[in-house]
Chains A and B, each alone.
Chain A
Amino acid sequence: AIQLTQSPSSLSASVGDRVTITCRASQGFSNALAWYQQKPGKAPKLLIYDASSLENGVPSRFSGSGSGTDFTLTISSLQPEDFGTYYCQQFNSYPLTFGGGTKVEIK
């Protein structure tokens, strides 16, 4: 199974900051990666699909990049509503796997 390692596991940043979350895969693949945001008590919400495509309705301050073993989610200007836990997920091969999550807090 492909293992996904996210870093950092948590971060605290101020409104307006640029935030970067990294997802490293145990084996490389092209663009079969997604990013989700989850708020407490809610289902995950798809932000980025196919590594860099922005899901409909998701603010343009979110962006994804990468291929191979290293992928990145960037929030260009952190907003108060961006708190929550972010997960990467690979769909290159079964079993589908998720990263361990990155908890984002607003200072």
Chain B
Amino acid sequence: QVQLVQSGAEVKKPGASVKVSCKASGYTFTGYYMHWVRQAPGQGLEWMGIINPGGGTTTYAQKFQGRVTMTRDTSTSTAYMELSSLRSEDTAVYYCANDYYYDSSGYSSLRHWGQGTLVTVSS
């Protein structure tokens, strides 16, 4: 069965960076685009961007341009999301989720989700 297992909770100081991992299993990692979505405490869902695990190409939401980097390691079927210059407003649960359809270029519903990684930014 498909599983997306994310790394554990992080506590960071303002100005630092955080890198969250998402290890995929149970399907062809390179065939399904991977999205990153975050949710601040008590708030709704916010799409951050997407990576094509096959070619490594990325598209980021404008809000995060310049601060977010999404990468992948096909040898371990793992996707990564790094967010830099952290501020208190970045405190949130970060989720990875994959596309519904094979090679749908990210224009898809999000079928399988990781369990979420809580990132707390505090001095």
Are these two chains actual partners, yes or no? yes
Q: Which residues of A contact B (CB under 8 A)?
A: 32, 34, 36, 43-46, 49-50, 55, 87, 89, 91-101
Nearest Cβ on chain A to B62's Cβ, whole angstroms: 7
B residues 47-64 in Cβ contact with A at 8 Å: 47, 50, 59, 61-62
> Which of A43, A55, A95 is the one whose CB lies under 8 Å from B95?
A43
Nearest Cβ on chain B to A21's Cβ, whole angstroms: 14
- Name, among B45, B46, B111, B113, the residue most crowded by chain A CB atoms within 10 Å (CB to CB): B45
Whether the Cβ atoms of A92 and B107 lie closer than 8 Å is: yes
B residues 73-114 in Cβ contact with A at 8 Å: 95, 97, 100, 106-111, 113-114
Nearest Cβ on chain A to B3's Cβ, whole angstroms: 12
Q: Which residues of B contact A (CB under 8 A)?
A: 35, 44-47, 50, 59, 61-62, 95, 97, 100, 106-111, 113-116
Given contacts A91-B107, A92-B107, contact A98 B59 (CB under 8 A): no
Whether the Cβ atoms of A49 and B47 lie closer than 8 Å is: no
Whether the Cβ atoms of A96 and B47 lie closer than 8 Å is: yes
Collect the chain B residues with CB atoms within 8 Å of residue A89's CB: 45, 109-110
Docked CA distance A101–B116 (Å): 18
Give the interface SS of chain A, mostly helix, strand, loop or mixed.
loop
> Which of B44, B50, B61, B108 is the one whose CB lies under 8 Å from A100?
B44
Given contacts A94-B59, A95-B61, A96-B35, contact A46 B44 (CB under 8 A): no
Count A/B pairs, Cβ under 8 Å: 57
Docked CA distance A16–B115 (Å): 31
Q: Which 8 A-B pairs have the closest CB atoms?
A: A34-B109, A43-B113, A49-B109, A98-B45, A96-B47, A95-B61, A101-B44, A91-B107
Whether the Cβ atoms of A46 and B111 lie closer than 8 Å is: yes
Collect the chain B residues with CB atoms within 8 Å of residue A50's CB: 109
Which residue of chain B has the shortest Cβ distance to A93 in the bound complex? B107
Nearest Cβ on chain B to A95's Cβ, whole angstroms: 4
Collect the chain B residues with CB atoms within 8 Å of residue A44's CB: 45, 95, 97, 110, 113
